[in-house]
Chains A and B, each alone.
Chain A
Amino acid sequence: MEYMTPEKIVELFKEKFNGSIINSKIEIKTAGLKKNNYSLIWIEIEVKDFKEAVNLLCTIQFPHFSIISDNDIGEEIKLTYHFSLYYGEKSQEISLNLATSLPKNNLKILSITDLIPGAQISEREIKEMLGVTIEGLPDLSNIFLPKDFPKDVYPLRKDETGAVKMVNKEEEVKKVE
């Protein structure tokens, strides 16, 4: 199998989504006595091209999807999808973190479960914890939160819809019957 260097992967992304890449960086980390290094790629991309970027990733090698991490930064919610490429060979793996920001007034993102079925649970978690609408996600029941959890509380948000209310004044929260 041919391996692309991290620089090449970033170039490939830049070529394809010229305008949409907000920023990108390559991090080199070392470990152990021999100071062997491994690299991580951080790419931030606009949401309109996000699905295409995952698609491009799938053409390199079927990526291993780890998780979506979330960050509520005031007006936007930033989602970072953690992938890894080139697993199966010693010291060849590259971690690729693909981030995108969704404005709070339009929390919508396309589901990637048709490309990577393993992402389903993580997408459902994002949906119920942050209230992001995942378009094209098949199964819509709550996965971690109780079935009668209030619909307008999203525990991992940091604004007024967050779980702070739940912790201190639970009797004020309206439950789903």
Chain B
Amino acid sequence: MNKKTYSIPIGPVHPSLKEPMTFNFEIYGERIEKVNLAPGDNHRGIEFMGRQRNPIQIIYLAERICGICSAAHPFAFCQAVENAAGIEVPERAQYIRVIIAELERIHSHILWAGVAAHELGFDSVLYLSWRAREEVLDLLEYLTGNRINYGIFMIGGVRRDISEEQLPRIRETLEYYKDIYGKIEDIFLNDPTIAFRTKNVGVLTKEDALHLCAVGPTTRASGIKKDVRQDQPYSAYADLNVEAITPDVFSGEVNGDVYDRIIVRLLELVQSIQIIEQCLDNMPSGEIIAEKKLVKLLNQLKKAKGEGVGRVEAPRGECIHYVKLNESELPEVWKARAPTYNNLMTWVPMLIDQQIADIPIVIASIDPCIACMDRVTILNKNNGQKSMLTKKDLHELSVQKTRRITP
């Protein structure tokens, strides 16, 4: 039979994508025959920028790789630098780091749950779950001073302590989430329309997950027990008993579909609450940073030589930073890898043979965080030529605009 396919572009800007990314689909009827990925619409050259800054400046740059993983990236980066320079982090700081990272996981997973519901056309759940997310954002603001981009990580420790008076507020929020969790689980796992749209949709087999080196909830939902917090416990996780969560804990079977990814994320919410409670109970006293004076720390880093890897289990999966210091102000190499980088390839086996209607939820199901370079393209209408706006042009245009509004 002669099949006539047509192509549908999704992105760079599309309501189902929260960040720019291009997909080209070959569609036959409503079925997807071929997927072409074209990332890079949002490549900002962060690594290039980082290699021209000193390590302390990079912390803040790393924090802005992604607005949602704003604890995971600086966490991984600080670990990499500490490993490279041989700095020991005080135990109390390790615990505070874990608490912040887990609070971030709660906020990220609830955010994801809301986005997933929106992709399914279930807007009520989006609004209700995002309201539940406010609570943890408020707590993060209370603890760190910022709702996102917390600015609490520093090489050798953290910048703010969690005081005795702050504990009741944290416990209150944890109680709130324990309370509300039942409702969230009920909506996502028992609602028939959500089950209709997510069961057996976007299946990633265990083999594909393994071969494509998927990370995080994406790989765990396919039945691979892989979680950096469990495999190679860093920071305070080494004292805690963290186990990778696979969907069979809940449903007794592993399908690797979108539904399983929902299960994994929801169960991780509970796990995060437990981890934070354990941390609060066992938190040692003592210093929160190895070197308080930043000038001294910078000098120490200037003299350091060595390479280090920092690995962190971000909400989306393993986040790895590699730093090489070579007795100079700037690090010789800084390589950052966000979890979505590895999960990118898993979209292809997930999307083939699905329907157009499944595209948004399957794309969302790995919780993409497309953090990647520069410039604006404009199409010259007169001769149809593509031209780029350079930094100089952009600067000139903005000067003109400013003059226009303020004469």
Instruction: Give every chain B residue within 8 A of A57 (Cβ-Cβ).
Output: none
Residue A100 CB within 8 A of the other chain: no
- Count A/B pairs, Cβ under 8 Å: 152
Are B375 and A84 interface neighbours, CB within 8 A?
Answer: no
What sequence of 0s and 1s flags, for each residue 42-78 of chain A, a beta carbon within 8 Å of any chain B beta carbon? Answer: 1000000000000000000010111101110100000
Residue A118 CB within 8 A of the other chain: yes
Instruction: Give every chain A residue within 8 A of B234 (Cβ-Cβ).
Output: 31, 38
Given contacts A31-B237, A33-B282, whether A116 and B231 have CB atoms under 8 Å apart is no
- Chain A residues bordering chain B, tally (CB within 8 A): 56
Are B94 and A69 interface neighbours, CB within 8 A?
Answer: no
Are B342 and A69 interface neighbours, CB within 8 A?
Answer: no
Instruction: Give every chain A residue within 8 A of B225 (Cβ-Cβ).
Output: 87-89
Residue A93 CB within 8 A of the other chain: yes
Q: Which chain A residue shows the least CB distance to B390?
A: A170
Instruction: Give every chain B residue within 8 A of A20 (Cβ-Cβ).
Output: none
Residue A101 CB within 8 A of the other chain: no
**A32: min CB distance to chain B, Å:** 3
Are A118 and B233 interface neighbours, CB within 8 A?
Answer: no
Residue B124 CB within 8 A of the other chain: no
Pick from B238, B282, B324: contact of A71, CB under 8 Å: B324
Interface positions of B from 331 to 389, Cβ below 8 Å from A: 332-333, 335, 337, 341-342, 344-345, 372-373, 375, 377, 386, 388
Q: Which chain B residue shows the least CB distance to A32?
A: B238
Q: Which chain B residue shows the least CB distance to A142?
A: B40
Are A155 and B213 interface neighbours, CB within 8 A?
Answer: no
**B38: min CB distance to chain A, Å:** 8
Stretch of B43-51, B102-110, B251-259 contacting A (4+ beta carbons < 8 Å): B43-51
Name the residue among A32, A90, A155, A167 with the largest chain B CB count within 10 angstroms: A32
Cα A121 to Cα B39 with chains together (Å)? 10
Are A118 and B212 interface neighbours, CB within 8 A?
Answer: yes
What sequence of 0s and 1s flags, for each residue 307-348 of chain B, a beta carbon within 8 Å of any chain A beta carbon? Answer: 101010000001010101000000011010100011011000
**B167: min CB distance to chain A, Å:** 19
Residue B83 CB within 8 A of the other chain: yes
Pick from B43, B244, B332, B335: contact of A88, CB under 8 Å: B244
Stretch of A6-14, A102-110, A144-152 contacting B (4+ beta carbons < 8 Å): A144-152
Given contacts A34-B238, A67-B341, A84-B232, whether A144 and B224 have CB atoms under 8 Å apart is no
Given contacts A97-B309, A170-B391, whether A66 and B337 have CB atoms under 8 Å apart is yes
Instruction: Give every chain A residue within 8 A of B284 (Cβ-Cβ).
Output: 33
Are B244 and A146 interface neighbours, CB within 8 A?
Answer: no
Instruction: Give every chain B residue within 8 A of A90 (Cβ-Cβ).
Output: 230-231, 233, 243
Are A121 and B231 interface neighbours, CB within 8 A?
Answer: no
Residue A18 CB within 8 A of the other chain: no
**A8: min CB distance to chain B, Å:** 18
Residue B198 CB within 8 A of the other chain: no
Cα A64 to Cα B339 with chains together (Å)? 13
Cα A65 to Cα B231 with chains together (Å)? 15
Residue B214 CB within 8 A of the other chain: yes
Are A118 and B211 interface neighbours, CB within 8 A?
Answer: yes
**B204: min CB distance to chain A, Å:** 12
- Listed in ascending order, the chain B residues whose CB lies under 8 Å from chain A are 38-40, 43, 45, 47-48, 51, 83, 91, 94, 210-215, 224-226, 228, 230-239, 243-244, 282, 284, 307, 309, 311, 318, 320, 322, 324, 332-333, 335, 337, 341-342, 344-345, 372-373, 375, 377, 386, 388, 390-392
What are some 28 contacts across the A-B interface (CB < 8 A)? A31-B235, A31-B237, A31-B238, A32-B91, A32-B239, A33-B282, A33-B284, A34-B239, A38-B234, A66-B311, A70-B333, A71-B324, A82-B309, A82-B320, A89-B230, A90-B231, A90-B243, A95-B232, A116-B211, A118-B212, A118-B342, A119-B213, A121-B342, A141-B38, A144-B373, A146-B375, A146-B377, A163-B45
Q: Knowing that A67-B335, A156-B51 touch, tell me 7 more A-B residue pairs with CB under 8 angstroms.
A: A31-B235, A32-B237, A40-B309, A73-B332, A91-B238, A144-B39, A163-B45
- Listed in ascending order, the chain A residues whose CB lies under 8 Å from chain B are 27, 29-36, 38, 40, 42, 62, 64-67, 69-71, 73, 80, 82, 84, 86-95, 97, 116-122, 141-146, 148, 155-156, 163, 167, 170-171, 175
